[in-house]
Structure 1
Amino acid sequence: MEFPSRDLELATRQATLESDTPQIVGPQVVLGQGGFADDDAPENALVAVRDQSQWYVADSLHQARELAGKVQGRRSSLEPRPPLELPEGDWALTLRTCWVEPAYLETDASWCNPQDEPADPVANGGAFGGKIASDVTDVARELAQANDRVVRVLWSREDTVRHGPKRPPVSVGLRADGSGIFRLARTDHIDERIRPLLPKCEIEQVTIPGPPTSSAIRGAGWAEVEMLRAGLSGQAGWVTAPSGASAKATIANELISVEVRAGSPLDWVMFRSYCIGAAHMAYSWVTSEGLSVDQNGDVHDLTIRSFGVLRSSDTPEI
């Protein structure tokens, strides 16, 4: 496929539109100047890291990690399992999902001058909705004011897994007419994503041990509903997101074919990139991903490789 010459301002607008967060597109990104939250922190800033219960502040990241007693995360032998039992009933269709990790690249970070506002942790990356409620900005402000110094606040990969929000696991039983029980981990504002699409279904939110959940995670709630609707109808048709954009995907002969209805692209390269990324994310989620969480709600898989994210080399052509 050939692409016309690119206007990087239009590409930036396309990326911002797709991610719903401010983005930067240009050669500076591949040179390490992407504008992520921690990229422009002053060199003499204090550094704060956390353990399970408190923050530790030091002159360097190494010193702060030593104070916190940080231990490198490991991959567990514990297998991911759906945490919710299937509702009792005579169902035409059922669905149970495990915990999964958003697995965004840049972990949560912010920095703050005592007299200014903290840096936005979202910055040049949307984190699939995982950073919208991050506490690093509040912590950066509090620690900067307490120390009267610029403070960088950094989450490790282990922190994002233990404390970052996940899509709520679900356990659903549906009858052929779309009625049934949609059981899921208690999550604020998730009902409004589900009820319009399954109006006959009873939504049952339950409190379970585990990491926090959020309806802001990409596709949370409504993507699971669309899976169920496709299962009931026996075919995968067009799916419309809450944003109004629509897409359809089919898999045949080791090929994922994607069609989208999203208006005229501002930048074809960026537009195509987001389509490919979304297809990989969906395919990986339903075929490979899972997060090991024990009965007490403690997460055991703490490395990128342990999340089950499908490697690009193992993904069908898109």
Structure 2
Amino acid sequence: MSSITLVVDGRPIEVPEGTPTLLDALRDVAGATSVKDGCSPQGQCGCCTVLVDGAPRVACVTPVRRLAGREITTYDGLDPDRRQAWTDAFLATGASQCGFCTPGIVCRLEGLAAKTAARTPGPPSATAPSGPTEQPDEADPPPAAQLQAPAVHRALAAHLCRCTGWQTITEAAVGLGNLEPPRRDAEATARASFRAVLEGGTAQAVGADVVAGRAGFAADTAPADAAVVVPGGDGGWTVADTLAQARLDFGKVQGRRSTVSAEPPLAVPEGEWAVRLATSWVEPAYLETDASWCEPGGEPATPLANGGAFGGKLDTRLPDGFEGAADAARRWADRLGRPVRVVLSREDVVRYGAKRPPIAAGLNADGTGRVRVGWSGDADPTPVIDRIASVLPSAEVEVTPIPGPPTSPELRDAGWAEAQALAVALAGTRPEAVEVTAPEGGRALITAFGPDGIDVSVSAGAVLDEVVLRSYCIGAVHAALGWVATEGLAVDDDGEPQDLTIRSFGILRSADLPPISITIDDDVAEDPAVPASGAVFAAVAAATWSAAGFTPAWPLGALPWAARR
């Protein structure tokens, strides 16, 4: 078989001529696991970004046949000093949580830094530090080659991140070479990881390996000889030796974005209500698609390697009744008698992944009224009912079956956050005065809310690690703002999702966000550590709705200050 020679991270790699994309060549032939597959072949998430002859390129839409003799640089092939500088910057600001998107973002920003330096006369300054440099005086202008926020925002438009809320990434890029990372010993690292676990709800590592994308993702750790099994094809599944071959064999069709708008699937109960709200379907849009692998007779690798997509992966339902990727990997490994890797495509995640239950509520001024919870699938809705009742004890809560993808109580504060927003609406609270206390004790108080900035005061008990806590709270601001203002998933009357690309879901870009300030309350530092980002999520959602005048449907269609212009 003829082949094409690529130079990957300084070494020649022979790639079979039929290999479709650079992403396939890098992962399946070169073994470059820092190059992630978040949406292939949509080319929209940026997780597979590498440098081709020094310029950022999205690998999943780059044909191998065009790259003979070209220099390909992945995150792992960056100059060690540059890689360390980026690692230090990301650790200093908390710019990486799960770490799945980070290597691609670093490659993009490294390309931007090189381009900026090439256009700048004189020494490259902070763009190419050989080590830590002194912090410039605040009165001095930034070095000419130092990355500036507007350019960083433009570069990040090619990427998605669902954890950090963008701001910490921008801070890392702008401060590159001038930021001191936390110096954590083993005990401090354990505290930081525990804070991340509190906020994310599942196992979470903190450190340089996370920035490098080495957080144990199942698709990266499977044996090289594992068969690949994917949903699709005759019998509901297809088996092949590589992911590219499996998708080719069953004729995978790339998802498209529909022209259908996301509309609430439930009507507000009839009545004259003081407060009305109907929410739409929302796609969690976590970047690491569900994946697992298993040996025959063994235990499958968890799809929750480093973070659980804030509950998004816990109730995935697959063809043949398989309860998620891990269950499918175990059963297919036993069936085939060989190691098996199960990997969902972006389209699979949209079709089979669990969604936040839509609600429709009508409330009287005294808190009485009705809240309808839309439900699809076999997960238990009781936790959602109980959460709503804990905030709105006088309202009647009912479950209404609806056609659609599976719903789950595991999605971030499902039911509770909506109920908090309804309570704020009943009180008529201004956005800059919204305060929410979570059941675990975490508290969030909005003190400023608008296009010039969002300020949140946070109480979380023992802080454990300020960088990690701040990062999760900023991420919660981004998630809540987008959820209420712009995010939605179009689902037709038969329950079929119509939006199948990761750019279809209205996720806010880096450039869309106002500056976010998180003030951490030290007065409760002696108290037990409690999660706080859930309270931030609910408070910002309520404040966003308040700023829009409590319009009776989500998403609003735009950020509230944009809607007023």
Which TM bucket (shorter chain)?
Answer: over 0.9
Q: Does 1:188 align with 2:401?
A: no
Q: Does 1:164 align with 2:357?
A: no
Preserved contact between residue 275 and residue 363 of structure 2 (Cα < 8 Å): yes
The equivalent of 2:498 in structure 1 is: 300
Going from structure 1 to structure 2, the CA distance change for 1:146 and 1:260 (only over 3 Å counts) comes to same
Q: Does 1:47 align with 2:196?
A: no
Q: In structure 1, what is the Cα distance between the partners aligned to 2:392 and 2:260? A: 34
Q: In structure 1, what is the Cα distance between the partners aligned to 2:435 and 2:236? A: 47
SS at match of 2:280: coil
The equivalent of 1:220 in structure 2 is: 414
Q: Does 1:310 align with 2:508?
A: yes
The equivalent of 2:302 in structure 1 is: 120
Q: Which has the higher contact order (CA 8 A, sep 6+)?
A: 1
More helix by share: 2
SS at match of 2:221: coil
The equivalent of 1:35 in structure 2 is: 216
Q: In structure 1, what is the Cα distance between the partners aligned to 2:434 and 2:180? A: 29
Going from structure 1 to structure 2, the CA distance change for 1:72 and 1:253 (only over 3 Å counts) comes to closer
The equivalent of 2:285 in structure 1 is: 103
Further displaced range: 292-301 or 242-251: 242-251
Q: In structure 2, what is the Cα distance between the partners aligned to 1:172 and 1:63? A: 47
Preserved contact between residue 91 and residue 175 of structure 1 (Cα < 8 Å): yes
Q: In structure 1, what is the Cα distance between the partners aligned to 2:202 and 2:484? A: 26
Q: Does 1:286 align with 2:484?
A: yes
SS at match of 1:104: coil
Preserved contact between residue 49 and residue 68 of structure 1 (Cα < 8 Å): no
Q: In structure 2, what is the Cα distance between the partners aligned to 1:4 and 1:32? A: 18
How many angstroms does 1:194 deviate by? 0.8
Q: In structure 2, what is the Cα distance between the partners aligned to 1:6 and 1:309? A: 33
Stretches of 4+ aligned residues off by more than 3 angstroms? 1-6
> Across the two proteins, how many residue pairs are aligned to each other?
318
Q: In structure 2, what is the Cα distance between the partners aligned to 1:227 and 1:277? A: 19
The equivalent of 1:246 in structure 2 is: 443
Q: Which amino acid aligns with 2:405?
A: P
Further displaced range: 240-249 or 61-70: 240-249
The equivalent of 1:5 in structure 2 is: 182
Preserved contact between residue 314 and residue 354 of structure 2 (Cα < 8 Å): no
Q: Which amino acid aligns with 2:501?
A: T
The equivalent of 1:69 in structure 2 is: 251
Indicate the structure (1 or 2) with the bigger Cα radius of gyration.
Answer: 2
Deviations 1:257-305 (A, max 9, x none): 1111111221111111001000110011111111111111110111111
Deviations 1:121-176 (A, max 9, x none): 11112211011234111110110001110000011111111111111111110000
2:342 to 131, 142, 153: 153
Q: In structure 2, what is the Cα distance between the partners aligned to 1:280 and 1:241? A: 18
TM-score (norm: length of structure 1): 0.95
Question: Where do 5+ consecutive residues of structure 1 fail to align?
Answer: none
Q: Does 1:24 align with 2:209?
A: no
Q: In structure 2, what is the Cα distance between the partners aligned to 1:244 and 1:116? A: 40
How many angstroms does 1:32 deviate by? 2.6
How many angstroms does 1:253 deviate by? 4.8
2:423 to 229, 234, 237: 229
Q: In structure 2, what is the Cα distance between the partners aligned to 1:277 and 1:264? A: 20
Q: In structure 2, what is the Cα distance between the partners aligned to 1:169 and 1:271? A: 29
RMSD: 1.7
Q: Which amino acid aligns with 2:481?
A: Y
Going from structure 1 to structure 2, the CA distance change for 1:44 and 1:275 (only over 3 Å counts) comes to same
How many angstroms does 1:103 deviate by? 1.1
How many angstroms does 1:117 deviate by? 0.3
The equivalent of 1:265 in structure 2 is: 463
How many angstroms does 1:238 deviate by? 2.1
Q: In structure 1, what is the Cα distance between the partners aligned to 2:241 and 2:180? A: 48
Further displaced range: 244-253 or 127-136: 244-253
2:404 to 205, 210, 216: 210
Q: Which amino acid aligns with 1:145?
A: D
Preserved contact between residue 6 and residue 267 of structure 1 (Cα < 8 Å): no
Q: Which amino acid aligns with 1:298?
A: E
Q: In structure 2, what is the Cα distance between the partners aligned to 1:43 and 1:4? A: 35
Deviations 1:70-126 (A, max 9, x none): 111111111111111111111001001110111111110100001310011111122
The equivalent of 1:142 in structure 2 is: 331
Deviations 1:166-190 (A, max 9, x none): 1111111000000001012026221
Q: In structure 1, what is the Cα distance between the partners aligned to 2:355 and 2:228? A: 27
How many angstroms does 1:3 deviate by? 7.8
How many angstroms does 1:315 deviate by? 1.0
Q: Which amino acid aligns with 1:240?
A: T
Q: In structure 2, what is the Cα distance between the partners aligned to 1:248 and 1:97? A: 24
Going from structure 1 to structure 2, the CA distance change for 1:267 and 1:96 (only over 3 Å counts) comes to same
The equivalent of 2:40 in structure 1 is: none
Further displaced range: 128-137 or 118-127: 128-137
The equivalent of 2:105 in structure 1 is: none
